[in-house]
Amino acid sequence: MSNEAYKLFNAITLIVMTAICLALESCASIAAGSQSDRLRSEPIKPLPLKLNLDESKVELGRELFHETRLSKDNTVSCVSCHDLDNGGGDQRVHSIGIYNRLGKFNAPTVFNSGFNFKQFWDGRANSLEEQVAVPIHNPDEMGSNWNEVVAKLSASTDYQRKFRSIYADGIQAENIADAISEFERSLVTPNSRFDQYLRGDESVLTEDELRGYRKFKEFGCVSCHQGINVGGNMYETLGAMFNYFEARGNITKSDYGRYNVTGREQDRYVFKVPGLRNVALTAPYFHDGSAEKLEDAVAIMAEFQLGIWLEPKDVSDIVLFLNTLTGEYEEGGK
Ligand code: HEC
Ligand code: HEC
């Protein structure tokens, strides 16, 4: 083949390959750089596919997470409000604890909570370990205390043996919190369709879902909901543009957000930006559980956080995108 013919052949091959590649909407193998480029440049990062956890702690933590003896009257466990088969929340406006007591907040999901920079709507717990004591002591949730819990668990030779095999000092508050936290770190939902897209699979999202994602970025949702958990890495005022609480009415102490933690006036109505992974499964929404549907939550966010009124088509596109954030969790798996 002459030099000219060779160049022409190469050019045609390239055009044909590009055409096939575009037709398949999957350039992953040809555009070798596209996967890592997307992982680098997109404001949302995929959840890890593999975890490095202490399996014996995870197993003990799993049992404790389902343990009703953590509550005063042995009726309520962590799963009572964090149902692992239903998005890791409880589908209620506000949670219900022992003696049917109504709590003051909507229960956030426990899935992927290990990736949040702080725990709780107002961020008052610095770590999962610190978080565990709160529901155990909260009179509206489990209404118990460490002394009672340690005494009840110590009555079980099975628990004694299991704790001893991991912790030299056996059944202690700190060890209970440690095991539960390690289990919570296993509550990860990788491989959502959106994560597959981030990892380079071009064909996995529909045109409409991609448009929803573009709008999520262009309208500015991503300035607060970003990173590995699509949130969970900063505090922001609820009502950044307009007064959400005045519009909703009936303001209570739980609406003060970070103010309850710091006592600083500038922290009034400031909350942790929640992660949006699996958000399609965790209705109702917001710390007050006031938004019944994801569509309502999206429209409220646009208005009060960004000062824009979305067309119904914009809302439904964004909801389509949010649906692609639903990942996989197998009880018993990791
Ligand atoms: C009675 C219902 C109830 C029970 C029982 C309960 N929780 Fe929760 N959980 C909630 C509510 C409501 C919140 C939000 C409270 C807040 O932000 O002040 C929450 C928040 C959390 C968070 C923070 C998530 C985030 O994104 O900020 C974690 C983690 C968590 N719970 C784990 C647990 C564990 C572990 C147990 C068992 C020891 C437990 N919960 C028991 C209702 C409950
Ligand atoms: C200025 C920061 C900011 C912006 C911008 C923002 N959000 Fe939020 N978002 C928050 C905060 C803070 C909350 C928690 C509100 C609360 O305390 O109830 C939240 C909550 C949510 C929730 C409810 C999650 C749950 O589990 O209850 C959804 C859904 C949501 N945002 C979607 C969006 C969408 C879609 C956009 C763009 C139209 C957007 N957000 C823009 C800060 C922001």
Tell me the pLDDT tens digit for each residue of 131-184: 999 999 999 999 999 999 999 999 999 999 999 999 999 999 999 999 999 999
Q: What is the mean pLDDT of residues 102-128?
A: 98
Distance 88 CA to ligand 1 centre (A): 10
Share of the chain above pLDDT 70, in %: 89
pLDDT band at 11 (very low <50, low <70, confident <90, very high): low
Can you tell me the mean pLDDT for 46-50?
96
The H or E element containing residue 208 is helix 207-218
Which residue, 110, 43, 99, 52, is CA-closest to 71?
99
Tell me: pLDDT of 92 over 60.
yes
And the tokens for 134? Answer: 């709160």
Residues 6+ apart with CB under 8 A from 251: 245
Looking at residue 202, what is its pLDDT?
86
Per-residue pLDDT, 34: 64
Lowest mean pLDDT among 31-35, 197-201, 232-236: 31-35
Q: Phi, psi at residue 28, to the nearest 5°?
A: -50, -45
The pLDDT assigned to 29 comes to 43
| d(CA 274, ligand 2 centre) in Å | 7
Nearest CA to ligand 2 atom 5: 221
Q: Is the CB of 279 under 6 A from ligand 2?
A: yes
Count Cα atoms within 13 angstroms, Cβ side, for 172: 9
| Atom 39 (ligand 2) nearest CA | 221
Fold of 193-323: Cytochrome Bc1 Complex; Chain D, domain 2 (1.10.760)
Tens digits of per-residue pLDDT, 260-285? 999 999 999 999 999 999 999 999 99
Contact partners, residue 331, CB within 8 Å, separation at least 6: 84, 85
Mean pLDDT of the chain: 92
pLDDT value of residue 8: 61
Asked if the model's pLDDT at residue 32 lies above 50, the reply is: no
Separation of alpha carbons 90 and 109, rounded Å:
8
Identified catalytic residue from 141, 184, 202, 209: 141
pLDDT higher than 50, residue 85: yes
What pLDDT digit, counting tens, does each position of 290-320 carry?
A: 999 999 999 999 999 999 999 999 999 999 9
- Is 141 a known active-site residue? yes
Q: What is the mean pLDDT of residues 204-223?
A: 98
List the domain boundaries for the chain. Answer: 3-32, 55-185, 193-323
Model confidence, pTM: 0.91
- For the cut 80, the answer to whether the pLDDT of residue 91 exceeds it is yes
**Per-residue confidence (pLDDT) for residue 33, from 0 to 100:** 56
- Atom 12 in ligand 2: residue holding the nearest Cα: 273
Domains 55-185 and 193-323 equal at CATH topology level:
yes
Domain range 55-185, its CATH number among 2.120.10.30, 3.40.640.10, 1.10.760.10, 2.60.260.20: 1.10.760.10
Position 25 pLDDT exceeds 70: no
Q: Which ligand is nearest to the CA of 218?
A: 2
Q: Kindly list the distances between the CA atom of residue 63 and the CA atoms of 34, 56, 123, 147, 316, in Å, as whole numbers in the listed order.
A: 43, 11, 26, 19, 40
